[in-house]
Amino acid sequence: MASFLQLLVSGLATGAIYALVAVGFSLLWQTSQTINFAQGEFVMVPAFFVLVAMHTLGLPFWLAAIVGIATAALVLGVLFKRIIVDQMLRHGVLPLVVSTIALSLFMREAVKDFYSAQAQPFPSLVADRDITLFGVVFSAQSLALLVVAVAIVAALHIFLQHTRFGRMMQATAQNPTVARILGIDVERMILTTFLVNAVLCAIASILISPIYLAKFTNGETLGLAAFVAAIIGGFNQARGAMAGGILLGVLDNLCAAYMSAQYRSAVPLILLVLFILFRPQGLMGRVEERTV
Amino acid sequence: MVSLSQIAARRGVLGGIVLAGALAVSSLSARAADDTVFIPNVVELSGAGAVSGTNWRDGITLAVEEINAAGGILGKKLNVPHLDTQSDASIARAQVQKVMDDKPYVILGPVFSGSVLVTMALAQQNEIAEIVGGEAAAITQRGNAFVFRTSFGQQFSMPKIANYIRDGLKAKSVAVLWVNNDFGKGGRDNFTKEMQARDIKVVADISTESGQVDFAADVVKLKAANADAVFVYTNEEESARFLKEARKQSLKGALIGETTLLSQKVIELAGEAANGVRGHVGLSSDAPVPALATFAEKFKKRFNYANDHNGIKGYVAVYAIKHVTEKIGKFDSKAFAEALHGMTITPDKTPGILMEATWDKNGDIDRASFLGEVVAGKQKIVEVLPKLNK
Amino acid sequence: MSLARILGLLAVLIAVGLLIAAPTMLRSYGVYLLALWSVTTIAALGLNLTLGYAGQISLAQGAFVGIGAYTVALATAAGIPYFVAFLGAGLITFAIGWCLGYPALRVQHHFLAFVTLAFSTLVFLVLRNEQWLTNGIYGINDIARPKVFGLSTNRNPDFYYFALGMLALFAGLQWWMLRSPWGRAFVAIRENPLRAASLGIDVRRYTLMAFAIGSAYGGFAGALYAPLVQFIEPNSFQLTYSLKLLLIVLVGGAGYFIGPFFGAMIEILLPEWLRFTQGYYLLIYATLVVILMAVCPKGLVGAVALIAERRRKPPGRAPGPGGTLDPGGATPGPTGAASASHSR
């Protein structure tokens, strides 16, 4: 039982990260039909912004973290939207998919060539301590990670559901044409989602890098996990992406412990296929009208 | 249908131009000038193998710069271009094919065992020696007289660990935790074989993914297995994450590793959790050999990061070429391969070899290694294991 | 008009002539690369059918190449003649493609992309973990090259001619297919699925067919890949390879018959052309792809066709009955169709 609890808590911490990344992913999808294949790299890169701010500019960690988040908002939010998404969206989904694939390659190679191919140690927000509760050992780091991630998604949820601005964003996400007719500044709403996504990714980056270590390959598994979590949870709901991420993290651990470690990465994918076949709207998604 | 053929026409013209350009470019590869010797390095510079590959490349670059600054080999400067395999066997093969067209003296790389296996057949056909970084046992077991290693194959390092587990630890049961790629799987297979030969029971056999972050499930399984010793065979970051989790869940049983687990990088990343780890140390800058420490300093100064064993492997490979060539007195690829078999190179003759090394008839390398333990955040060498065939 | 046709034929003949004469002009390396290009182009032709003509994103073309490669490697090692194994590779991938597409195409749009994404990772895991069958992570070495009409293909030029012949065969097959009533149905579906359905075309069945045939092309390409490289390992056929093929098709120009030829050429030869940039060629490649997609989302061939069209016709004139190759962009292309079905 203690080991089960242990697995559950570890899985929750990993899942919370997937959730953070998946929420941003599904927000982009909703407002602008952007399937961002570089989402994993969006999490990998901000850690290097922070490292550059610390080591090149000599800033203290907390300031460097703020600089990192701000840079991410500018580069991965505004510039990404203006330079890449806006150019391609009018041509449809495919050119954008290809561009984000190329972008992910670009980001990986750039970090490798201009920073380092080696994993870099990254300062932690919380002291590296273990806490024992009910016979289960928690690391302070993963607890903090869990708390922060849940808090952020909850805040985002409240923002989307209970503020005027948030509801306008939702309206944009659900039907841009109608939103425009209703007088909502759709452009601004879409830009905001890109900013929100970039900030979420940057926060995830700062949370995980002490554990993952900053490395140019970090985005590969993370991006895929976010993608799967978003679909399982229901592509059109931020709440669903959260649930999907956490489900994924917990399942991964339970499967590795009680089923097959060699096939641990298969479980979420099989789950994904089952969802597509039997519950295509996802865990919490709305039913979309069928196309074709 | 009219517009169709017209467009086809324009595309055809474009096709012709592009193709002609392609042909012209690919036939124009530069020939090496006469006062240099062509030693291409074909290695993983992007993709999954990039970390090992860039280390290997930088080790080579360091040695080449030193040798060229000192006048080269037999009066000729070394011309060592680096070609990227993208960590893909088909491209590795293409790149080796390419350098073969320019008559290389010796080929360096690759590091990935799969790419080594596919390229060494070409080396054999063209009778050009290939000095590789791969550690899979199979490489030197195929009777290829042109392939040479720069570090222990797994068939040599695993018996040393196995003996230590039997004689040093007197363990009756072990668990093995390995990373599921060709490096980890090869190590795990050789290790299991050695355990069976020594009648030590393998009570848990746990595969992990490369890049894995959460080791909670693996440690839970290891606790259930309750083995006398746990053999850990993963890359640096994963080793560190595992050690932290093992400490967290207070896993019992000795933690045993091969080179990586005791490396300075893992100790730095895992902190206190690395204390008490024991195992075999093959090639590492942490070994108590002054030449290795000096090399590590030079490397750090030149490239601004700390090397791993791949950096040493690349560096040593170039100096081995220098030594053998000066011995045979000419640039003859076939004679080079013949001469390196059975040759012993000592650091007093060629300091760049760092540690005395002997190559056997299969192209395997033999040199001294160490048993170590991590004490208070430092690697401490407990015993020096002499060369196998002294 | 007929002059253009003659010119076109001439250009194609020149290109074919150059390809045939290539081994006399190139050294061993160049010939190997061209053989790799032929094989990659076959796989990309298949994906182009799925993506460019049927408008479905498949992220498993690399996995199908892998299945084809393993089928041939294992079968020939077991003593089965190469060409039997070759056909088997195509049949197996066709069947798998059908089984995979059937449920995915039943539900919502774009779900084929997700299902194939999952599938390609599962294929990698099976190839890696089921060592009894596939030799696991170690891969399969020393794959024999086939004898064609009793002639050995052990030398690179010989294998190149074999691969080139196969490329011609599969390209010809697709050319014919696209001009058959079948192919016209594909195009009709892509241009306007609703109208196609109202005309009595079973949209789902044709889409499924396009996907299954496209997958089989991947299988055939794999059947050529294995003896070309003579070594296969699970890593080669991961998701990254599928993404690479997707890039090839879109860079070349999705929905254009000759798009894949150019896409594959860029992908395989660009590192060669950019060698002077040292290690930065991937960065440059990625940048070029983004720029191309921004400037001309229809890919290289699309760009050329667009320029040609602008020069030939005064602006504003309605596009001719070119159907599939309509370059003007007035009718929604494959990309347009995909996006159209997405805006709710």
Mean pLDDT to the nearest integer, A75-97: 88
State the amino acid at position A203 in one-letter form. Answer: I
Is the Cβ pair A6, B209 closer than 8 Å? no
Confirm if B215 and A253 have CB atoms less than 8 A apart: no
Q: What is the DSSP letter of C318?
A: P
C200 inside 8 A of chain B by CB? no
Q: What is the DSSP letter of C215?
A: H
Q: Which chains touch A (3 or more CB pairs under 8 A)?
A: B, C
Task: From chain B, pick out residues whose CB is under 8 angstroms from the CB of A252.
Answer: 214, 217
Dmax (CA) for chain C in angstroms is 65
Compute the mean pLDDT over every residue in chain C, rounded to the nearest whole number. 85
Q: Is residue B66 classed as helix, strand or coil in its secondary structure? A: helix
Cβ neighbors of B348 (< 8 A, separation 6 or more) are none
C5 inside 8 A of chain B by CB? yes
pLDDT bucket at C9, cuts 50 / 70 / 90: confident
Q: Is the pLDDT of residue A124 over 90?
A: no
DSSP for A195-213 reads HHHHHHHHHHHHHHHHHH-
d(CA B321, CA A269): 49
Check residue A126 and give its pLDDT.
78
Share of chain A above pLDDT 90, in %: 30
Kindly report, residue by residue over C309-329, the tens digit of the pLDDT.
Answer: 787 765 544 443 333 333 333
**Angstroms from C53 CA to nearest CA on chain A:** 13
Mean pLDDT to the nearest integer, C223-244: 94
Check residue C104 and give its pLDDT.
82
Lowest mean pLDDT among B123-137, B376-390, C241-255: B376-390
User: Which of A9, A120, A124, A217 is best to mutate for the B interface (most B CBs within 10 A)?
Assistant: A217
Size of interface B-C (CB pairs under 8 A): 171
State the amino acid at position C204 in one-letter form. Answer: R
Q: Which helix (H) or strand (E) covers residue C28, if one does?
A: helix C28-48
Which residue among A118, A121, A130 sits closest to B51, beta carbon to beta carbon?
A: A118
Is the Cβ pair A280, C107 closer than 8 Å? yes
Closest CA to A190 of A34, A5, A22, A12: A34
CB atoms within 10 A of CB C265: 23
Confirm if C227 and C67 have CB atoms less than 8 A apart: no
Kindly report, residue by residue over C265-323, the tens digit of the pLDDT.
Answer: 999 888 778 877 777 888 999 999 999 988 888 898 888 888 887 877 655 444 433 33
Task: From chain A, pick out residues whose CB is under 8 angstroms from the CB of B249.
Answer: 6, 137
Confirm if A230 and A26 have CB atoms less than 8 A apart: yes
Window 98-127 of C, Cβ < 8 Å to B: none
Tokens of C215: 């997958």
A95 inside 8 A of chain C by CB? yes
Mean pLDDT to the nearest integer, B295-303: 94
Greater model confidence, A289 or C95: C95
- Residue C177 C-beta-side C-alpha neighbours within 13 Å: 17
Kindly report, residue by residue over C192-220, the tens digit of the pLDDT.
Answer: 878 888 888 888 888 899 999 999 999 99
Instruction: For residue C36, give Cα distances in angstroms to B15, C228, C235.
Output: 18, 8, 18
Q: Which chains touch B (3 or more CB pairs under 8 A)?
A: A, C
> Can you list the alpha helix ranges (DSSP code H) found in chain A?
2-32, 39-55, 61-72, 86-89, 93-114, 140-162, 164-174, 176-181, 186-212, 219-233, 238-258, 266-278
Which pairing describes strands A130-133 and B41-43: parallel, antiparallel, or unpaired? unpaired
Check residue C45 and give its pLDDT.
97
**Angstroms from C317 CA to nearest CA on chain A:** 21
d(CA A50, CA A220): 20
**Angstroms from B12 CA to nearest CA on chain C:** 5
Q: What is the DSSP letter of C274?
A: T
Check residue C224 and give its pLDDT.
97
Q: Is the pLDDT of residue B16 over 80?
A: no
pLDDT bucket at B32, cuts 50 / 70 / 90: very low
What are the backbone angles phi and psi of residue B122, rounded to the nearest 5°? -65, -40
Size of interface A-C (CB pairs under 8 A): 136
Is the Cβ pair B94, C11 closer than 8 Å? no
Check residue A290 and give its pLDDT.
39
pTM of the model: 0.89
Greater model confidence, A44 or C329: A44
Tokens of B225: 């297995």
Is the Cβ pair B93, C32 closer than 8 Å? yes
Check residue A137 and give its pLDDT.
80
Lowest mean pLDDT among A107-116, C260-269, C335-344: C335-344
Closest CA to A225 of A45, A20, A73: A20
Q: Pick the residue from chain A with its C-alpha nearest to B181.
A: A262
Check residue C328 and give its pLDDT.
33
Lowest mean pLDDT among A158-167, B326-335, C276-285: C276-285
Task: From chain B, pick out residues whose CB is under 8 angstroms from the CB of A265.
Answer: 209
pLDDT bucket at C109, cuts 50 / 70 / 90: low
Is the Cβ pair A6, B207 closer than 8 Å? no
Task: From chain B, pick out residues whose CB is under 8 angstroms from the CB of C12.
Answer: 8, 12, 15
Check residue B147 and give its pLDDT.
95
Kindly report, residue by residue over A53-75, the tens digit of the pLDDT.
Answer: 999 999 999 999 999 999 999 99
Task: From chain C, pick out residues whose CB is under 8 angstroms from the CB of B117.
Answer: 139, 141, 231
Q: Is the pLDDT of residue B242 over 80?
A: yes
Is the Cβ pair B46, A11 closer than 8 Å? no
Compute the mean pLDDT over every residue in chain B, rounded to the nearest whole number. 87
pLDDT bucket at B13, cuts 50 / 70 / 90: very low
d(CA A33, CA B352): 57
pLDDT bucket at B233, cuts 50 / 70 / 90: very high
**Angstroms from C320 CA to nearest CA on chain A:** 21
Check residue A265 and give its pLDDT.
86
Mean pLDDT to the nearest integer, B165-187: 92
Cβ neighbors of C163 (< 8 A, separation 6 or more) are C35, C38, C39, C224, C228
Confirm if B152 and B135 have CB atoms less than 8 A apart: yes
Cis omega (within 30 of 0) for bond into A95? no
pLDDT bucket at A289, cuts 50 / 70 / 90: very low
Kindly report, residue by residue over C27-77, the tens digit of the pLDDT.
Answer: 888 999 999 999 999 999 999 999 888 888 899 999 999 999 999 999 999
Q: Is the pLDDT of residue B265 over 60?
A: yes
Q: Pick the residue from chain B with its C-alpha nearest to A249.
A: B214
Check residue B67 and give its pLDDT.
96
Query: The sheet that has B41-43: what strands, in order across it?
Result: B82-84, B41-43, B106-108, B129-132, B147-149
Is the Cβ pair A252, B211 closer than 8 Å? no
Q: Which chains touch C (3 or more CB pairs under 8 A)?
A: A, B
C113-127 burial by CB neighbour count: b if 16+ within 10 A, else e?
bbbbbbbbbbbbbbb
C175 inside 8 A of chain B by CB? no
Residue C45 CA from chain centroid, whole number: 3
Q: Pick the residue from chain B with its C-alpha nearest to A213.
A: B237
